[in-house]
Structure 1
Amino acid sequence: MSDLIGGRLGLEAYARYTEQLWFVYAALEGGAARDGLTSDPVAGPFVRPELARTPELARDLAYLRGPDWRSDLEPLPATAAYAARIEDCAAAWRGGYVAHHYTRYLGDLSGGQALGARAEQLWGFAHRGDGVRFYAFDAIGNPAAYKRAYRARLDALPVDAAEKARIADECRRAFECNGAVFRELGELYPAA
């Protein structure tokens, strides 16, 4: 990530990273729709339309890769494992799904904003335009207030202390999954 933000990797590495995000968010958002998470007492409060990233990722990928971007799309092994873990949690363990949801969406509302701004500078994307739409949460007026409300929903999860600890462990696993994706990308695109 530091090489990407630092400009030591090129646009191709950024585009490949964006492709990997497609698989992760397709798992998060597809699982929510497929597995009925919106009405679930644990996961439901977090599944919100203003967070949806797959439409924005599709626009970014069409810009970065062209209109046939889906034809060559392939996850890295770490990405496939990450997406599979999210799908497993969505289907069988709502608390685990929330852990992955929290890790991705709040991370993108926080540090992801810096990556989007840096990508604009490095590769000349229009401010919050094609290529970096993924990072523009236009439906969220105040990101800081939104993150506070999100954390309040986390604190109010209808689970016991043991389950909260288990969810926290899954958050660590989500960070590890994300790190594994970056390591594989790093092997494909060594810093210049």
Structure 2
Amino acid sequence: MTNLAEKLKLGTQQSHSNAEHTGFMKNFLSGGVSRDSFCQLLSNLYFVYSQLESELQCHQTHPIISKIYCPELNRKANLEKDLTFYYGEHWPDNITPSPAAQAYVSRLRELSATEPVLLIAHAYTRYMGDLSGGQSLKKIAQSIFHLEEHQGICFYEFDEIPDVNEFKNQYRQKLNELILSEDLQDEIVAEANNAFTLNIAMLKDLGETQTPVTV
């Protein structure tokens, strides 16, 4: 047993706070985010999650990754539904990743090829955020854009996870059950902070590289 879940929580607190204080997130939380910025966010996330989930699937038999591989967390298909809602059936022709999103994707590819166990840091950072603060963002987006249930907010919905809090507890337990050296745990925490850094850069891109919404 380790205490990796607690180490990740404590070790990324400052990074988490930094992400919450980006201009985009402050606008989002105050209800002032634009529809175009929100759609660019979803577009960027589509590229990030597509890569992350592809790499995790690739390594699903890895002796460590296999222990925390949970396909019920996958976001790609849900993001495709949202992008169809906002951009129409030809959405793949209308979205491109921002430079920061491209850097994020490149880092995931690099880890998959060299140190796949560090993908755990990205899975933790992204999915635990989606299951936690992401649920509040869902309600804010519904209010800002006057969305009906299951319209344009599928990214935040986890149909295969009936009890989000219980799932988060189980996921943390899985992290703590991983057999890892202290050095490797420290590397995972460091990479989780890098995941936040990549995400913050992606949030800062928003507003500078927006794709007009046509639907």
Q: TM-score, normalised by structure 2?
A: 0.83
What's the counterpart of residue 19 of structure 1?
A: 43
Separation in structure 2 between the aligned mates of residue 12 and residue 136 of structure 1, nearest angstrom: 21
Question: What's the % identity of the aligned pairs?
Answer: 32
Structure 1: runs of 5 or more not aligned: none
Q: 1:49: Cα distance to partner?
A: 2.1
Q: Deviations over 1:122-161 (max 9, x none)?
A: 101112x121011011111111111111111111222101
- The equivalent position to 1:64 in structure 2, one of 78, 86, 103, is 86
| SS of equivalent residue, structure 2 residue 179 | coil
Separation in structure 1 between the aligned mates of residue 139 and residue 109 of structure 2, nearest angstrom: 30
The CA RMSD over aligned residues, in Å, is 1.3
Is contact 1:112-1:135 (8 Å) kept? Answer: yes
Are 2:138 and 1:116 aligned? yes
Structure 2: runs of 5 or more not aligned: 1-24, 211-215
Is contact 2:87-2:94 (8 Å) kept? Answer: no
**Higher relative contact order (CA closer than 8 Å, sequence separation 6+):** 2
4+ residue stretches of structure 1 with deviation over 2 A?
186-189
Q: TM-score, normalised by structure 1?
A: 0.92
Question: What does residue range 8-157 of structure 1 map to in structure 2 within 5 Å?
Answer: 8-33=32-57, 35=58, 37-127=59-149, 129-157=150-178
Q: Deviations over 1:47-99 (max 9, x none)?
A: 22211110000000000111100012211111000111112222321221000
What's the counterpart of residue 176 of structure 1?
A: 197
Separation in structure 2 between the aligned mates of residue 76 and residue 15 of structure 1, nearest angstrom: 12
Aligned residues: 186
Structure 2 counterpart of 1:124, one-letter code = H
Structure 2 counterpart of 1:103, one-letter code = T
Structure 2 counterpart of 1:173, one-letter code = N
What's the counterpart of residue 6 of structure 1?
A: 30
